[in-house]
Amino acid sequence: MFEYIAISTLNDFIFCPYSIYLHNVYMGGEEELYHATPQTRGKAAHTAIDEKKYSTRKDDLVGLSIYSDELGIAGKIDIYKAKEKLLVERKYKLKAIYQGQIYQLWAEYFCMTEMGFDIEQLAFYAISTNQTFPVEMPGDVGKQELKAFIEKFKVYRPEDAIETNENKCRNCIYNSLCDKTEYHV
Ligand code: SF4
């Protein structure tokens, strides 16, 4: 059976491919045991979207399930503002915008356009500071870059060697479950 890659895992894959494996192994258990506070707040921000509590505007779409057969990915958007042709991804806090987060938004964009939606603007929105951060449209070059990244994701195997990094590993929410790192907290 054809399996779609969850868009929400693209950012985690850049952080560390092995974290995806650990998440899949343990996600059936007590998720709150390894979700640190910032992640829990991030999840709470998304819960409002998932339960469709956020927007009352008729032309906004919230929590829409999306997919792309071309890229083999699927997920959910936060908000699509049809009038502005704007796709927005909300985060609780945004000190910096990482490449993985941009890939996530691009992935949502390609799913939406494949599904027939018209999008001319992309942006992140930081809830804690009430700020909007516009993101460049990917274009063809961005699409090829995202495709190459998704291909890496598809061929990754947990037994592959990975480079560990002390700063990363000590801040990783899977640290206590990880058998690849020597940097335990
Ligand atoms: S502890 Fe390090 S090696 Fe293990 S999943 Fe986290 S980042 Fe990856």
Whether the CB of 174 sits within 6 Å of ligand 1: yes
Look at ligand 1, atom 7, and give the residue with the nearest C-alpha. 169
Which domains are present in the chain? 5-27+39-177 (3.90.320.10)
Determine the pLDDT at residue 38: 36
Burial state string for 94-130 with b = 16 or more CB within 10 A and e = fewer than 16: beeeeeebbbbbbbbbbbbeeeebebeebbbbbbeee
Distance between Cα 16 and ligand 1 center (Å): 6
H/E stretch holding 66: strand 65-68
Q: What three-state secondary structure class fits 9?
A: helix
Whether the CB of 43 sits within 6 Å of ligand 1: no
H/E stretch holding 172: none
Strand order in the sheet with 60-62: 60-62, 79-81, 86-91, 121-126, 131-135
pTM score of the predicted model:
0.82
Look at ligand 1, atom 5, and give the residue with the nearest C-alpha. 19
Whether the CB of 16 sits within 6 Å of ligand 1: yes
Determine the pLDDT at residue 2: 64
Tens-of-pLDDT digits for all 185 residues of the chain? 568 999 989 988 999 999 999 988 886 544 443 333 334 344 544 554 555 555 556 789 999 999 999 999 999 999 999 999 999 999 999 989 999 999 999 999 999 999 999 999 999 999 999 999 999 999 999 999 999 999 999 999 999 989 999 999 999 999 999 999 999 98
Q: What three-state secondary structure class fits 39?
A: helix
